[in-house]
Structure 1
Amino acid sequence: MQNKIIVLYKSEYGFTKQYAQWIAEKLQCDCVEISAVDFNKDYKTIIFGGGLYAGKINGIKTLIKNYDKIKYKKIIVFTVGVADVNDAENIKNIVSYAKKQMPEEMFSKIKLFHFRGGMDYGKMSFIHQCMMWFMKTMLSKKPENERSDSDQAVIESYGGKFDFSDKNTINDLVRYCL
C-alpha cells in the first residue's frame, strides 16, 4: 500500500467501481467496497466514490458515520453520474447536493471531484427506472430552446444504454493525492 491511501466506493451498476479501480491502479493502493473497510486502519488519505441518484451520493452515510475516525486524514470524495461535468450548472448542483448531505465540518475539509458514468436501463432497479422516467417526463416539458445538452441527452437516451466513462478524467484527482 503506497502512501497509506485507500480508495473506497459504493457502486450500484459498476460505473463508480470502475473509476475506483482506475484510481487505485494509478495510485497503486487498496480499493475496497465501503462496507468492507476498517476505518481504524492507519490510512493517511481516504478516497471515497459514490454514484449520484436523485441528488444523493450513494454510500456517503457510511463515510459520515465514521467521520470522527478519519477527520484528521486527507479526504477526497468523488461522485459518478450522467450529468455533463463540463456544464457549470451541473457542477454547481452536485456541490449543492454534497453540501446538504454532509456536516459542515466534513464538507469544508473534503476535496470533491465528479466523473461522468453511464446508464443501462436493462440493469436498473425498478425504483431507478421510475426516477429516470420522471426526470425524462419533466425535462420533456421544458421548451426545447431552454433544455441543456444534458437535458436533451437524458431524453434521447431514455430506455437505452450509454457509457460516458473516461479513464483520463481521474488525472486531476490522482495529482491531488500526490
Structure 2
Amino acid sequence: MKRWIVYGSEYGTTRRYAEACSARTGIPAVDYRSAPDLGSCDQVIYFGGLYAGGVCGLKKTIKSLSPGVQLILVTVGLADVSDPENIRSIRASIQKQVPAELLRRTQIFHLRGGIDYSRLGFKHKTMMTLLYNKVKNLPPEKRNAETQALIDTFNQKVDFVDLNALDPIVEVLG
C-alpha cells in the first residue's frame, strides 16, 4: 500500500504531530507544499492546522488525490477537542473544504495544539487580536469553549500537544 503523511503547519505544532506519527508508523511525512504526486497513493493521512476556520493546505492537497484514495484527516487546533461544540464547529469547517463523497469515506481525528503569539506572523497576529477584541467583553453566558480558550490564552505561549493522543490514529494505521 502506497501511503504518505502530509501536513499543513504554519508554526510547527501540526508538524510535530505528523513527524511523531511518521516515526511511530514508518510512513513518510512531508509538508503539503513539497508533497510528491499523491495521485497514485492508496492512503493519505493529512494533519492540518486550524487557522481562521480552515484546515491549512487541505484544499490544495485534496486536488491532488485520486478518486479512490483513503483519506484520514487529523485537525490540530487551540480549542479543546473534548468539547462537542468545538468538534461541531471544526467539522462544519471541514465540510466546506472536503467534497461530500470524499468526506463520507474519511476518518477524522482532532488533536489539541498550541500557540505562541510571539511567533505569529502579522496576518495571524492581527486576526487573533481582532477576534480577541471582539469576544473579550462578551458576558460569560454568551462565550463558548472556543472563545473562552482564546481569552484565556491571548498573547501567551501555550502548548497542549499530547503525543499520546496519536495512539488511536496509529492503531488505525496498523
Q: TM-score, structure 2 length as denominator? A: 0.92
For 1:19-168, list aligned pairs within 5 A. 19-40=17-38, 42-67=40-65, 69=66, 71-168=67-164
Alignment-mate amino acid for residue 168 of structure 1: N
Distance in 2, matches of 1:131 and 1:163, equals 20
Once the two structures are aligned, what percentage of the paired residues are identical? 34
Displacement, 1:82? 0.2
Alignment-mate amino acid for residue 11 of structure 2: Y
Displacement, 1:13? 0.1
Tell me, yes or no, if the aligned pair for 1:27 and 1:174 is still in contact at 8 Å. yes
Tell me, yes or no, if the aligned pair for 1:4 and 1:29 is still in contact at 8 Å. no
Distance in 2, matches of 1:40 and 1:32, equals 11
Distance in 1, matches of 2:136 and 2:63, equals 38
Tell me, yes or no, if the aligned pair for 2:79 and 2:145 is still in contact at 8 Å. no
Aligned residues: 174
Q: Which residue of 2 aligns with 1:4?
A: 2
Displacement, 1:133? 1.1
Alignment-mate amino acid for residue 56 of structure 1: G
Instruction: Provide, for residues 20-45 of structure 1, a one-character-per-residue CA deviation record: whole Å limited to 9, x for no partner.
Output: 01111111111111122222575332
Instruction: Provide, for residues 112-157 of structure 1, a one-character-per-residue CA deviation record: whole Å limited to 9, x for no partner.
Output: 1111111111110111111111221222122123434443332122
Distance in 2, matches of 1:158 and 1:40, equals 37
Tell me, yes or no, if the aligned pair for 1:43 and 1:73 is still in contact at 8 Å. yes
Alignment-mate amino acid for residue 139 of structure 2: P
Displacement, 1:109? 1.8
> What runs of 5+ residues in structure 1 fail to find an aligned partner?
none
Displacement, 1:96? 0.5
